[in-house]
Amino acid sequence: MRLKSVRTLGLALALAGALISTTSLSAFVPEFFDGGGYGPSPAVAVQAAIWDAEGTASGYGLYKCTLAEEPAVFAQPRNARRPFNAQVKLRCTP
């Protein structure tokens, strides 16, 4: 009788483990991606930020990206090596 209950318990644990592993394989894919960049002008900084976000999205197999929000550009002090920093938020789909 004890052997049967051990087998039943083992089968139940194996099924539970299989269920957990199959649900964890369907990983969460984000819809929005943030990117950051810098450059000598605001336009260059924004383009670098877009490329950064697109590069991250491509790792998830998402290649069609559009701006979700207006890019944010931050000017740095005059003698900074990177005069402009930018941040963008992209919405990407397969």
Quick check: 22 pLDDT over 60? no
Query: What residue segments make up the domains of the chain, in order of their start?
Result: 32-93
Q: What is the DSSP letter of 77?
A: P
| pLDDT range class, residue 31, cuts 50, 70, 90 | very high
pLDDT at 20: 54
What are the backbone angles phi and psi of residue 73, rounded to the nearest 5°? -120, 135
Mean pLDDT within 15-44 = 78
- Tell me the two tokens of residue 76: 């740095």
| pLDDT range class, residue 80, cuts 50, 70, 90 | confident
Q: Could you tell me the pTM of the whole model?
A: 0.70
